[in-house]
Amino acid sequence: MKISEKIGNMKKDKKTVTAVMLLGTGGLLLIMISSLFSGKEEKSETLENIRGTDFTDSADYCQETERRLESFLETIEGAGNVRVYLTVGTDQRYVYAREEKHSRSENKTEEEEKYVMIGGGNGKSALIETVEVPEITGAVVACTGCDSPIVTERIYRAVSAALGISSGKIFVTKLEG
């Protein structure tokens, strides 16, 4: 017996059609209900994750960047062992979403700016648009291979390019060992 014949036979039986309809409707209701509950949890988790991605301070951001830069600089031919120390000028900064309204009349121009708020009741907070990482203002690099002027120049150029700072804000020195 073919599948189309089986489906045709099922359509004739009212109990089977009713059972399939009830099961389908029940499944859709369960999906809708679960999406309502999981959506609220995801939103609160997302807000917590944004707040949780604070590097608690700029030191955590610096340590991670130093680690990545050390790993990269050690791949430069002749660099040898590398240690990096970074300085930052500002801490992590939040940029909040704003709503702007402009109105013009005959002789006046009015501008109004408000922060976009999320949450309800006592749990209102400003919507975070972006989180800006701390600005790196200087770097000290110590490596075992910087006796060679060619290696030293490569280190200066790599650090300048990687961090987006001028070579005047970078100091390269010999690492003991």
- Domain assignments of the chain as residue spans, ordered by start: 3-52, 58-92+133-174, 93-130
Do the Cβ atoms of 73 and 82 come closer than 8 Å?
yes
Q: Which CATH class is domain 58-92+133-174?
A: alpha beta
For the chain, give the longest Cα–Cα distance: 90
Rounded to an integer, what distance in angstroms lies between the CA atom of residue 142 and that of residue 146? Answer: 8
Query: So what's the pLDDT on residue 71?
Result: 93
| Most confident of the ranges 42-51, 101-110, 150-159 | 150-159
Measured CA to CA in angstroms, residue 74 lies from 71, 123, 137 at distances of: 5, 48, 22
Do the Cβ atoms of 58 and 114 come closer than 8 Å?
no
Rounded to an integer, what distance in angstroms lies between the CA atom of residue 101 and that of residue 90? Answer: 31
Query: So what's the pLDDT on residue 116?
Result: 74
**Phi, psi (rounded to 5 degrees) for 93:** -130, 140
Query: So what's the pLDDT on residue 152?
Result: 93
How confident is the model over 60-117, as pLDDT tens digits? 888 889 999 999 999 999 999 999 999 887 766 677 777 787 777 777 887 877 777 7
Q: Which comes out higher in pLDDT, residue 155 or 60?
A: 155
Query: So what's the pLDDT on residue 51?
Result: 40
Across the chain, what does the average pLDDT equal? 78
Rounded to an integer, what distance in angstroms lies between the CA atom of residue 129 and that of residue 118? Answer: 12
Nearest to 131 by CA among 81, 58, 75: 58
Nearest to 169 by CA among 82, 69, 73, 89: 89
